[in-house]
Amino acid sequence: MTWSEIWPLLQEASVATAIMVGVSGLFAAVFGLLFGVLLVLTDRDGLFPLPILNKLLGGVVNVGRSLPFIILMIAIVPFTKLVTGGSSIGTEAMIVPLAVGAVPFYARLVETALREVDPGVVAAARAMGASGREIVWKVLLREARPGLLAGLTVTVIALVGYSAMAGTIGGGGLGDVAVQYGYERFETKVMISTVVLLVVVVQLIQMLGDWAARRLSHK
Amino acid sequence: MIQIEELRKVYRARGREVTAVDGVDLTVREGEVFGVLGRSGAGKSTLLRCVNLLERPDSGRVVVAGQDLMALRGGELRRARQGIGMIHQHFGLLSSRTVAGNVAFPLEVMGVPRAERAERVAELLDLVGLSDHADAYPAQISGGQKQRVGIARALAGRPKVLLSDEATSALDPETTASILELLRDLNRRLGLTILLITHEMDVVKRICDSAAIMREGRFVESGPVRELLLRPGSELARGLFPLPEPAVRPGTTVVDLTFEGDSADRPFVSSLARTYSIDVNILGGAVEEIGDTRVGRLRVELPGDPELNAAQLAHLRDAGLTVEVHGAAPAGPATDSGLEVAR
């Protein structure tokens, strides 16, 4: 293959990867944050101890975390079909398993980041008469911002990896190109360029994440 | 201002029960600085956290500024807490907010409008001498400055009561002195009632009007500091003026004299020696400024057994001194010197 043939291929694949990672990353950010906060709040020593809900939530998150993505992706095909209205392949369909895989992943990272917040600060806020909502928004989430961002960076990078796997069952994107052209057709040039592209993308995401986390950290 | 009756708090963890506070009665009068002194694990931190109900006591009564806090829940309790300032050993500042932002936090919680907030923050920072550091982040200032931010923040809601949880324990001696001075100053200028807990004898000595010694969840002794110092056998006195185990030689009388105020200024030792033509041997002692008065403790040795010194001891008592006589060595000490006060 010549570069003029490879180039549009890579461009299209990059867009597909960006869509898969972007949309599922957004889901992970919103729901991961929600579940992570719930995990911390409902803990035995949390602000609103609800041990049963906590165990349940923790269990769900653990199941999601313990399945290798390639298995999860296949196992939830019926659910994917339900969400997309029939299709279980293609870029849009792949967003479903990616989001399902990334939400519990990020939820645990959120939980860890929130636990890093100095309990003394929470106690001080309670002593000032702050409400639970104020403590969550103004203390926990605010103080944990650098950690939450670092976690999101890790999650998005994991999603880039997952999306490559999604490519193998027809998800499109850079992984798909690498497998179809690089692996099955022995197009070394394609293989190398997807690898280089992935490395560059991951580097850029990491750098952006680090930069943002550093800006928000005043420790 | 603060009234606590029969307060009990028991922690249950994995089938084990630990009684942290075991029936404490405590009254802090308006405008007073009250210190609870004790070692770590004595239950003083739990006691303090029960005063604004960060910990809910198992039983007892907590009345602050006329309000029975145990009867309050939810929003009512949160509003009551807004009227009780608290400062913390490790400051408890938000690292993501500037000094001004930290002081503004309780005002936001209280729903003070933005413009008014800025004005009040400036006022509070001025009060603690941190106006120049309004835009600094907590990580950029020293421990003493952090505690000043903590104090400014605690005063945001114009509380009548300030709770201090080992506020100076993470600070070096000089910074401790300046923070204590600030607290004393606020106590006098604003009429602020302060309840503090500490393991440092020095804190009690420097700023407390009243004090209690806490051990294993109970108050061992409690009262105005001057009274406690003059009370024979007081742990506070022995903690503040540590004297070694008395070694009484046969045929002598060893006496610990505690004196304060006017009697401290009179030359009672030479007067004793002259009146009775005896040699008075000074074994040890110290004089401290407690609040506005001078208080001291002196150990002297008089010739002759205690029975022979009745007149001399009466002379000392007449001079306004508190007199503790140590028995002869074989008989064992007359007073229990097994002092255990955290210093």
Burial class (CB in 10 A: 0-12, 13-18, 19+), B254: buried
Q: What is the DSSP string of B220-240?
A: EEEEEHHHHHHSTT-HHHHHH
Show the CA angle centred on residue A120, arms to residues A119 and A121, nearest 5°.
Answer: 90
Are A120 and B88 in contact (CB < 8 Å)? yes
Beta bridge partners of B194: B33, B162
From A30, A25, A194, A39, select the one nearest A108 (Cα to Cα). Answer: A39
From A137's Cα to the closest Cα of chain B, the distance in A is 12
Testing the interface with A: which of B72, B95, B96, B153 to mutate, by most A Cβ within 10 A? B96
Residue B5, exposed/middle/buried by CB under 10 A (0-12, 13-18, 19+)?
middle
Asked if A138's CB is within 8 angstroms of B105's CB, the reply is yes
From CA B208, how far away is CA B183, in angstroms rounded?
10
Query: Rounded to whole angstroms, how far apart are CA atoms B27 and B7?
Result: 12
pLDDT tens for chain B, residues 1 to 343? 999 999 999 998 778 888 999 999 999 999 999 999 999 888 999 999 999 999 999 999 999 999 999 999 889 999 999 999 999 999 999 999 999 999 999 999 999 999 999 999 999 999 999 999 999 999 999 999 999 999 999 999 999 999 999 999 999 999 999 999 999 999 999 999 999 999 998 899 889 999 999 999 999 999 998 888 888 778 888 888 877 777 788 888 898 888 887 777 778 888 888 988 888 888 888 888 776 778 888 899 888 888 888 888 888 888 888 888 886 544 434 444 434 343 3
The span from the CA of B127 to the CA of B122, in Å, is: 9
Contacting A residues, span 118-147, partner chain B, CB-CB under 8 Å: 118, 120-121, 123-131, 134, 138-139, 142-143, 145
Non-local CB neighbours of B70 within 8 Å, separated by 6+ positions: B53, B56, B57, B60, B61, B62
Burial class (CB in 10 A: 0-12, 13-18, 19+), B24: buried
Arithmetic mean of pLDDT, A157-163: 92
Residue-wise pLDDT tens digits, A47-105: 899 999 999 999 999 988 888 888 888 888 889 888 888 777 788 888 999 999 999 99
Task: Tell me how far apart the alpha carbons of residues A92 and A15 are, in angstroms, rounded to a whole number.
Answer: 12
B33 touching chain A per CB within 8 A: no
**Secondary structure of residue A75 in the 3-state scheme:** helix
Residues of A in contact with B165 (CB under 8 A): none
Q: How far apart are CA A69 and CA B143, in angstroms?
A: 48
Write out the two tokens for B38: 């004790």
A23: pLDDT strictly greater than 50: yes
Per-residue DSSP letter, A176:
H
If one counts the domains in chain A, the total is: 1
Distance from CA of B100 to the nearest CA of A (A): 14
Percent of chain A with pLDDT over 70: 100
How many A-B residue pairs are in contact by the CB < 8 A criterion?
76
Structure-token match 């197009």, residue found: A187
Residue of chain A nearest B49, judged by CA positions: A127
CA-based max dimension of chain B: 78
Rounded CA-CA distance A113/B139 in Å is 19
- B60 close contact with A: CB closer than 8 A: no
Predicted model pTM:
0.84
Tokens standing for residue B326: 């140590």
A18-49 exposure pattern, b = at least 16 Cβ within 10 A, e = fewer: bbbbebbbebbbebbbebbbbbbbbbeebeee
| Cβ contact, residue pair B92, A139, below 8 Å | no
pLDDT of residue B328: 55
* CA distances from residue B178 to B38, B129, B209, B287 in whole angstroms, order as listed: 22, 11, 18, 22
Q: What is the mean pLDDT of residues A171-188?
A: 85
Instruction: Tell me the mean pLDDT in the region A199-214.
Output: 94
Between strands B16-28 and B2-13, the pairing is: antiparallel
Q: What is the mean pLDDT of chain A?
A: 91
CATH of the domain at A74: 1.10.3720.10
In which domain, by residue range, is A190 found? 3-216
Instruction: Name residues 102-121 of chain B within 8 A of A (Cβ).
Output: 105-106, 108-110
What is the C-alpha to C-alpha distance for residues B132 and A114, in angstroms, rounded to an integer?
Answer: 32
Task: For tokens 């001025």, name the residue.
Answer: B126
Mean pLDDT value across residues A188-205: 91
Handedness of CA B85, B87, B88, B94 (dihedral sign): positive
Instruction: Map out the domains of chain B with their CATH numbers.
Output: 2-230 (3.40.50.300), 243-328 (3.30.70.260)
Q: What does residue B130 show for φ and ψ, rounded to 5 degrees?
A: -125, 20
Which of B95, B96, B109 is nearest residue A129 as measured by Cβ atoms?
B109
> Which of B75, B78, B90 lies at the smallest CB-CB distance from A120?
B90
Token match 């398993």: residue?
Answer: A97
- Identify the band that residue A133 occupies on the pLDDT scale cut at 50, 70 and 90: very high
Task: In whole angstroms, give the CA distance from residue B25 to residue B8.
Answer: 10
pLDDT at A212 (0 to 100): 93
